[in-house]
Amino acid sequence: MADRARVKVLYGFGAVSPATEDSVRRARSQRPEPLGDRLLLTESIFAALFVVAAIALIEIGNPGHVPVGPAIVLTIAFALLSRFEFEVGAGYSIPTQLAFVPMLFVLPPEVAPALVAAGRLLGGLPDFLRRELPFDRVISRLTDCWWSFGPALVLTCAGVDGAHWADWYWWLLALAAQLAFDLAISSAREYFGTGRAPEVHVRELVPTWTLDVLLSPIGLLGALASEQRQYAFVLVFPLALLMWVFAQERHARLDQQIETSRTYRRTALLLGELIGEDDEYTGAHSQGVVSLAVATADELGLGEDQRRLVEFGALLHDVGKIGVPKEIVNKTAALSDDEWEVMRRHTIVGQRMLDRVGGALKDVGQVVRASHERFDGTGYPDGLTGEEIPIAARIVCAADAFSAMTTDRPYRAARDREFAIAELRAQSGRQFDPQVAEATIAMVERYGLPRNRRVIELEAPGLQAPA
């Protein structure tokens, strides 16, 4: 079951992850904007190259007679299907394979890229007329059609005429060429237009490729049926209407999920403010832990889901101290055994508070509970060891300890930054995950966290776990 859930998140379908929420929000905000100068130049070059390539393919293939009726129907169908946007990952996918695949076999394949371009522009016409999309997006729509050139080139060079089972290996090669051209051209567009690394773009393409691969056999069935009846391919188009219904439901669900996420975030920030109101030191300390913990998570390359758990876990790791008597929290002398027992229960209290909120903060509650576990199993409250401790909690633990050592506490003055770094290394493999400790130190040194003017070096044999 866990593997199945990971697959759903990876491909952008099913449950909506925090990473998908962020990607969708970013994609929605970017799409209506005019192209920047660098991106406009890049898109213009690739669009011009596509027009030249499409014309050259027609010249090379010399299609002769093109059935006008099916060409018009398929172009209009492509235009309509291009408006059925299904949000996946960092963008959206469209079910145009239902028209494109029949186009490759019902018509001469060499004309397919030109018809795809016509359909793509026709599909965007209402948005351009209503000025919902900047006019320079016409150029982007031409560049978007490069994926159609790969399969058309393969089938043209192979001399494939119509859909016949004997040509199945050419079908597979055509599909592979579609994905390869899409990868190569779109990655180049992103790199030269925005400077984004290709590997980042590949992850965003996976949901779109998944939909294209799944719809291709259905489009092929329409092409096979059209060998007997010229317009039989139209029988597959109602599937697009069903997908449109699903797309509307997904859009509404994403809206609801994003709003819910905002609500949880506002709740977490409110709880963070309550911590500060309840105890000034604890509030300021939590903010410092957030900054260092998030930087450490980035250094370790954690995904957006885990990064969010780190951020909220760091902000709320001390929320349970609201229930601890102030005479214990602010005591300047050593705590008694009974007082330590009360103090150590603040992680359990914090988890219970967040469990009552529920939703995303219930996962944060697990991080809060484990934020004082030690890598060697001697921490509290559950005595977890090694990777039994959630990675977000291991990061919060290290950031919490560094902040505790380098800030004034009720029972001692702040220690020197170099002392704190030495203690992180000394307790690596004991209190801290070694990789997390090194990443935390790297962030401290990279961002030059300030030395405290009041330096007191204690001869304590080890790092005292922060309360």
Domain boundaries, the chain: 9-236, 264-447
pLDDT of the residue at 461:
32
Per-residue pLDDT tens for 273-291?
665 554 444 445 456 788 8
Q: Are 57 and 110 in contact (CB under 8 A)?
A: yes
Burial grade of 463 (CB within 10 A; 0-12, 13-18, 19 or more): buried
Residue appearing with tokens 């394949």: 109
User: For the domain 264-447, what is the CATH superfamily, name and number?
Assistant: Hypothetical protein af1432 (1.10.3210.10)
* Tokens matching residue 410: 């009720």
Helix (H) or strand (E) holding 413: none
Does domain 9-236 fall under CATH 1.20.1090.10? My reply is no
Output DSSP code: residue 414.
Answer: P
**Sites in the chain below the pLDDT cut of 50:** 1-16, 278-283, 285, 450-467
pLDDT of the residue at 132:
77
* Among 86, 95, 88, residue whose Cα is nearest residue 8: 88
pLDDT of the residue at 454:
34
Q: What's the CA gap between 140 and 148, in Å, rounded?
A: 15
* Among 359, 350, 290, 351, residue whose Cα is nearest residue 320: 350
Domains 9-236 and 264-447 alike in fold: no
Q: Are 186 and 201 in contact (CB under 8 A)?
A: yes
Per-residue pLDDT tens for 300-323?
988 877 888 888 888 888 788 776
Strands of 57-197 (E only): list them. Answer: 86-88, 91-93
Q: What angle do CA 407, 444, 332 make, to 5 degrees?
A: 15
Phi, psi of 428 (to 5 degrees): -65, 130
Predicted TM-score (pTM) of the model is: 0.59
First to last CA, the chain: 38
Q: Are 146 and 100 in contact (CB under 8 A)?
A: no
- CA 315 vs. chain centroid, Å, equals 22
